[in-house]
Structure 1
């Protein structure tokens, strides 16, 4: 069985060590008049450097049906069993493109999975599936594991500016304008009901938003004394250290290596993003 995912998935190099290959459907990003294939000819680090240097707004295009058809056909030549794990259908049309493409490649047997999230929370599900495949699990067992990881995992993020979210159409321009005028920093998550962004809190300063984010994590796991955590950022190492300190003042922490948000997501959030992926420490016991 082979895994396909998208560039909405963020995994640290350490998480990928020892795993079977993970195949990414190509996603395009245009910045300062040049188009890149995210993760292939543009690294996250290079993207944030260019973002700062150019001062321009990047644009992205989701993976199309043809991109999936090409990838599925190529992979099916080696193994027709494909598990395609993707960014929330509430945030992107990527999953629908995958579903249409699967029907156009009869030589493959594609199972589509909606993570109902993005970034590191999506990455946790991809990692879980890869580890299960390596351990020789059957498909039904892997799907059951993915459902457990999806249900037990939450993600939160905040940003020091909402201009990229507004420009990318990820929130209404009216809300973005009001937040800018009122100097509000939102704490944002993804709803488990519909897979769309939901504002959990609003604070007047970035530092207070980071502190509030830590509190929201604790609220999500009121019975847990120890949490499995991963810090997420665009290009904001100082911000994630503030969040690390805030979490360690509240709960016992089991840290995964921090992860940098990839260019396709970073195009809609900018370099200031600070976030966290969280689950109970027992979640690790579910993984093969």
Structure 2
């Protein structure tokens, strides 16, 4: 079995290097980032350091989109040539269309036997599930046991986020322009989590900085 994920699952370069050293390669399908009319594949055409440097130098706001279904299909077909069994682990379908894109790609790649996992979370939290699945696979665990392990990790994990700037929430329609303006004036920052049932954002409260 082989493991596929997306770049919205934040595995650090150190984690990737360690897993590769152990002989557990993770195949990452990149999300697409657009900034100032230029489109980049995350981790392929642009690295995080360069992206943040460009972001700091512009007044434009970035947009992201899920990988095309064809990118997943191409990845599944390529991997199926050596092993058709694939575990494809992705960020929450409640926050991104990436899981649905992977699902469509799996339907296109009929030569692959793809098991899809919606982690119902994002950022580092699904990365822990990917790493645990990879290590369990290396240890020879059966697919059902690996899936149960990932469910236990998800149940035991709660993530809490806040933002230095609110303009991205306003731009993305997460909060209204008026609420964002008032919060910025009063130095109020939302505390945001991801609820486990639907994998969508939920506000846990707010703090004044």
- The TM-score, its normalising length taken from structure 1, stands at 0.67
In the alignment, does 2:141 pair up with 1:137? yes
1:47 aligns with one of 22, 47, 51 = 51
Conserved in 1, the CA contact under 8 Å of 2:8 and 2:31?
A: no
The 5 A counterparts of 1:43-192 are 43-169=47-173, 171-173=174-176, 175-192=179-196
CA distance in 1, matches of 2:121, 2:53: 26
Segments of structure 1 that go 5 or more residues without pairing to the other structure are 206-288
RMSD of the alignment, in Å?
A: 1.5
The equivalent residue for 2:201 is 197
SS at match of 1:60: strand
Segments of structure 2 that go 5 or more residues without pairing to the other structure are none
CA distance in 2, matches of 1:89, 1:59: 17
CA distance in 2, matches of 1:132, 1:23: 16
- The TM-score, its normalising length taken from structure 2, stands at 0.91
Report deviation, 1:172: 3.5
CA distance in 2, matches of 1:78, 1:168: 41
Q: How far does the alpha carbon of each residue in 1:76-119 deviate from its partner, in whole angstroms, 9 at most, with x for none?
A: 11111111100101101111121122122111000010111000
The equivalent residue for 1:28 is 32
In the alignment, does 2:41 pair up with 1:37? yes
CA distance in 2, matches of 1:156, 1:68: 30
